[in-house]
């Protein structure tokens, strides 16, 4: 029995409320429904310290998948990375799940690229969600906040990393940097590789900074808590990286890291911090 790990990592980052350890973060919640599907989404916005004091200054933008859970701690982590590296603090935006839906149902549909045959659950809505992100979220954010041109960063973990890979391979200019953590490249028998093949057949350029990370313990092993074998996320990430590197895409910057001693959950924090620091280089 192979175990699908998706929801577990979310419990490691906490719900979408203010992180008590991050006094600088004053999140703004903005309702942003999808006019096509009618689903009711929100975004959570954290502005840099001193944002209002220098009205001519612009900032990098970090978009967080799974913002309904990851936003509080990771918006704080982004501030810490910026301070430690003496870089501009980013505007951090977390993406919510659809209101009124179980979070796992929402992300399972919105973050996966293909429908699953013989499944009663909804999958394969990544293209529609990506359209919402490009046509609703990004125009709103860049129309209301001072975002630096050409400094969009996407972060996603697990299914969120799979969503990021789908955006990368179908509309790469949506973001300049993609931080993909423990991506679920195993989904639907590695369907994301088919997207890469189609992209490679039509393009010789892939102008993006792609940053990959995975926990060192995310290998195929028996997990007594789940009473089954886990998927080999390390192998999946290595295969994806090798595939991209073999294409010699013009404009592609590619880097990766295995976070030693961490699993699918515990790799989130150090992986995000390492990835964002790499993005700021």
* Lowest mean per-residue pLDDT among 32-46, 162-176, 217-231, 246-260: 217-231
> Is residue 31 a contact partner of residue 40, using CB atoms and an 8 Å limit?
yes
**DSSP symbols for 30-87:** EE---TTT----EEEEEPPTTGGG-TT--EEEEEETTHHHHHHHHHHHHHHHHHHHT-
Domain containing residue 275: CATH number: 3.40.50.1820
- Confidence band, pLDDT 50/70/90 cuts, at residue 103: very high
How far CA 274 is from CA of 173, 214, 238, in Å, comes to 23, 11, 18
Tell me, yes or no, if the pTM score tops 0.85. yes
Give bridge partners of residue 222 from the DSSP assignment: 229
pLDDT tens-digit map of 174-208 = 999 999 999 999 999 999 999 999 999 999 999 99
pLDDT tens-digit map of 104-141 = 999 999 999 999 999 999 999 999 999 999 999 999 99
Nearest to 93 by CA among 42, 146, 150, 45: 45
Give bridge partners of residue 56 from the DSSP assignment: none
In degrees and rounded to multiples of 5, residue 277 shows phi and psi of: -60, -40
pLDDT tens-digit map of 154-182 = 999 999 999 999 999 999 999 999 999 99
Q: How many structural domains comprise the chain? A: 1
> Is residue 3 a contact partner of residue 257, using CB atoms and an 8 Å limit?
no
Interior/surface letters 116-141, b for 16+ CB within 10 angstroms, e for the rest: beeeeeebbbbeebbebbeebbbeeb
- 255 by Cβ neighbours in 10 Å (0-12 / 13-18 / 19+) ranks as middle
Q: Which residue matches tokens 């859970």?
A: 69
What residues make up the domain containing 62?
Answer: 2-279
Four-point Cα dihedral 280, 204, 126, 157, nearest 10: -30
Res 15: pLDDT:
42
């Amino acid at each position: 029995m192979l175990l699908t790990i998706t929801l577990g990592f979310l419990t490691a980052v906490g719900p979408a409320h203010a992180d008590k350890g991050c006094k600088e973060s004053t999140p703004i919640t903005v309702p942003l429904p999808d006019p096509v599907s009618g689903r009711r989404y929100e975004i959570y916005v954290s502005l840099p310290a001193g944002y209002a004091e220098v009205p001519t200054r612009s900032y990098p933008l970090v978009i967080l998948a799974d913002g309904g859970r990851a936003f509080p701690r990771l918006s704080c982590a982004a501030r810490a990375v910026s301070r430690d590296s003496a870089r501009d603090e980013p505007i951090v935006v977390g993406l919510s799940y659809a209101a009124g839906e179980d979070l796992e149902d929402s992300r399972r549909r919105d973050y996966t690229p293909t429908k699953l045959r013989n499944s009663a659950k909804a999958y394969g809505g990544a293209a529609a969600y990506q359209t919402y992100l490009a046509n609703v979220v990004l125009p709103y954010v860049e129309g209301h906040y001072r975002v630096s041109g050409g400094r969009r960063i996407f972060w996603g973990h697990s299914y969120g990393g799979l969503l990021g890979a789908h955006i990368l391979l179908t509309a790469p200019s949506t973001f300049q940097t993609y931080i993909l953590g423990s991506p679920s490249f195993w989904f639907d028998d590695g369907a994301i590789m088919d997207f890469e093949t189609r992209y490679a057949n039509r393009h010789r350029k892939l102008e993006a900074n792609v940053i990959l990370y995975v926990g060192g313990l995310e290998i195929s092993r028996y997990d007594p808590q789940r009473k089954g074998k886990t998927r080999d996320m390390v192998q999946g990430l290595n295969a994806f990286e090798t595939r991209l590197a073999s294409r010699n895409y013009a404009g592609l910057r590619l880097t990766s890291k295995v976070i030693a001693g961490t699993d699918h959950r515990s790799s989130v924090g150090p992986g995000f911090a390492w990835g964002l620091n790499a993005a700021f280089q």
